[in-house]
């Protein structure tokens, strides 16, 4: 029996990358999976097919996570389709990097809305469901730069720091209802974005990581399984760094 057998997980922004890796890992551990993305395109359909191969229920929902009403509507639909929500992973995110002197208001607002406001939207929508169930696990996908900051990423760093404060506050508010909230802070994770970097940049970055390698989406997914499962039943309000000791 898998670690997530009988649980229903909702993952935002899960058509690709880390979100997809979490969805697949959750399914391999026995969970039914609902996920959102801006559109349910071929990439999302492929994710659905891969999850179905594990023999579990899965459905993708087109939704703008930064939109409050859409987030509530899709949560209501997921509850109607699946009956419950045991795990929420706030993974939807974008970057619009730039130095503060050159950053536009639009760049700031877009990143804060997609990364941080989306987490608020879905937590706000899911809390009543989990409260009725007397339990649930909320996982915010933060970042090491949400703890340490990073030049050229003040908007992204602020959004990821905000997700940490949000999770810690929800952990204290909702603990009496059996609801846990935690964060994962990935470091240098190998992805389509990092693969596009020049070889020299990637090699120099890896040299700063004590484990001497970049992380994989599956590394992050393994941490998410721990936080979503009963193995972490007394873990709440915490930030788990998945960074190879890059930022410890």
At 63-78, the pLDDT tens digits run 999 999 999 999 999 9
Strands 32-37 vs 239-242: parallel, antiparallel or unpaired:
unpaired
Average pLDDT over residues 103-117: 97
pLDDT at residue 193 in the model: 66
Could you give the residue ranges of the DSSP H alpha helices within 53-137? 68-82, 105-111, 118-133
pLDDT at residue 191 in the model: 81
Please provide the average confidence, as pLDDT, over all residues in the chain: 95
CA–CA distance, 228 with 231 (Å, rounded to integer): 8
Report how far apart, in Å, the C-alpha atoms of 75 and of each of 39, 44, 47, 111, 177 are: 16, 18, 20, 22, 19
pLDDT digits (tens, 9 = 90+) for 125-142: 999 999 999 999 999 999
Domains of the chain by start residue, with CATH:
8-241 (3.40.50.720)
- Cβ distance 61 to 35 under 8 Å? yes
**How many residues make up the chain in this entry?**
248
Residue 201: pLDDT above 80? Answer: no
Average pLDDT over residues 98-120: 97
Residue 248: pLDDT above 80? Answer: no
Confidence (pTM): 0.96
Active site residues: 156
State which H helix or E strand residue 193 sits in: helix 192-195
């Amino acid at each position: 029996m898998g670690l997530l057998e009988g649980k229903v997980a909702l993952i935002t922004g899960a058509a690709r990358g880390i979100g997809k890796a979490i969805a697949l890992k959750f399914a391999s551990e026995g969970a039914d999976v609902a996920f959102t993305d801006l559109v349910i395109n071929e990439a999302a359909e492929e994710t659905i097919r891969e999850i179905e191969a594990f023999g579990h229920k899965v459905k993708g929902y087109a939704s703008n996570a930064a939109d409050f009403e859409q987030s509530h509507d899709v949560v209501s639909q997921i509850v109607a389709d699946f009956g419950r929500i045991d795990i929420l992973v706030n993974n939807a995110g974008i970057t619009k990097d730039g130095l503060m002197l050159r950053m536009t208001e639009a760049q700031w607002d877009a990143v804060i809305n997609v990364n941080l406001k989306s987490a608020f939207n879905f937590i706000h929508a899911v809390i009543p469901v989990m409260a009725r169930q007397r339990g649930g696990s909320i996982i915010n996908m933060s970042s090491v730069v949400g703890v340490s900051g990073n030049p050229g990423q003040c908007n992204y760093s602020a959004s990821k720091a905000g997700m940490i404060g949000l999770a810690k506050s929800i952990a204290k508010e909702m603990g009496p209802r059996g609801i846990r909230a935690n964060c994962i802070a990935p470091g240098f994770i190998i992805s389509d974005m990092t693969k596009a970097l020049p070889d020299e940049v990637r090699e120099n970055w890896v040299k700063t990581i004590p484990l001497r390698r970049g992380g994989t989406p599956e590394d992050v997914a393994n941490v998410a399984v721990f936080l979503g499962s009963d193995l972490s039943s007394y873990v709440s309000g915490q930030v788990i760094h998945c960074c190879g000791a890059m930022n410890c």
